[in-house]
Homo-oligomer: A and B are copies of this chain.
Amino acid sequence: MDIGNDTGRAADSVVAMLEAKIVSGELENRAPLPAERELMEQFGASRTVIREAISKLSSRGLIETRPRFRPIVRKPDYATVLHACGNVVQHLLTERSGIKNLYDSRVFIERALVREAALAARKEDIVNLRAALEDNRNAISDSSEFYRTDVAFHGVLYRIPRNPIFPTIHEGYTSWLAPQWDRMLRSPERNEVNYLAHKAILDAIMERDPLAAEEALTNHLKAAWEFVRVTFDWGEE
């Protein structure tokens, strides 16, 4: 297939060399890249290929570029992956089926997460969940603040497996799945509903009842979807 992997170009060897220098630390993280005219001397290439290489590295998330500013070296991390996906994911969300698929996958993951939580959550996890839930309760009257604490509550769930991939996935969901509607469809009444849903989830987790936790989570997310679907008059799926 080889999308975006233009093998055989001169720029690629430059990319490879710069890539190596970045991962090896020879080019320090957060440090500015040398000037283009210096790089062309260093690699014996024309500015054309140097700039192409820089563009590619930027796409791969290995350097940050702002127009007219020195590119900044950036060691790749999980957030980088997320960002690389983002550009493409957005195209899949123009169709409703794309949104639905993404949302369903979220339900699937979170179901497994709460199940896991009920079975294996540590004391500190429970503490964090209680704190997050408390934040929910205190923010019921402030929809904007409630949104933040809502996301945070789910975030705690994603952190329970202690695998940095999951918080990254969570970030993906929250940034891709229509923060637009999420924000505009909130009200103290709905916040209260969601607070209670979170409470039910936490209760089930604390009772170490995976089935109940899964069910509470499923109800919570399905209800949220229903609300959005009906509000926007999306018809049945």
Are A87 and B84 neighbours in the complex by a CB distance under 8 Å? yes
**How far, in Å, is A227 (CB) from chain B's closest CB?**
21
Residues of B within 8 Å of A80, CB to CB, are: 3, 88, 91
A209–B190 CA distance with the chains assembled, in angstroms: 37
Q: Is A147 an interface residue (CB 8 A)?
A: no
Query: Chain A interface residue count: which class?
Result: 35 or more
B48, B68, B88: the one contacting A84 at CB < 8 Å is B88
Are B8 and A67 neighbours in the complex by a CB distance under 8 Å? yes
Majority secondary structure of chain A interface residues (helix, strand, loop or mixed): helix
Question: What are 24 inter-chain pairs, A to B, with CB distance below 8 A?
Answer: A1-B83, A2-B64, A2-B66, A3-B63, A4-B58, A4-B59, A4-B84, A5-B87, A6-B58, A51-B52, A55-B59, A60-B88, A76-B88, A77-B92, A81-B88, A84-B85, A84-B87, A101-B164, A104-B163, A104-B165, A108-B161, A108-B163, A109-B112, A111-B112
A residues in contact (CB < 8 Å) with B: 1-9, 23, 48, 51-52, 55-56, 58-68, 74, 76-81, 83-85, 87-89, 91-92, 94, 101-102, 104-105, 108-109, 111-112, 115-116, 161, 163-166
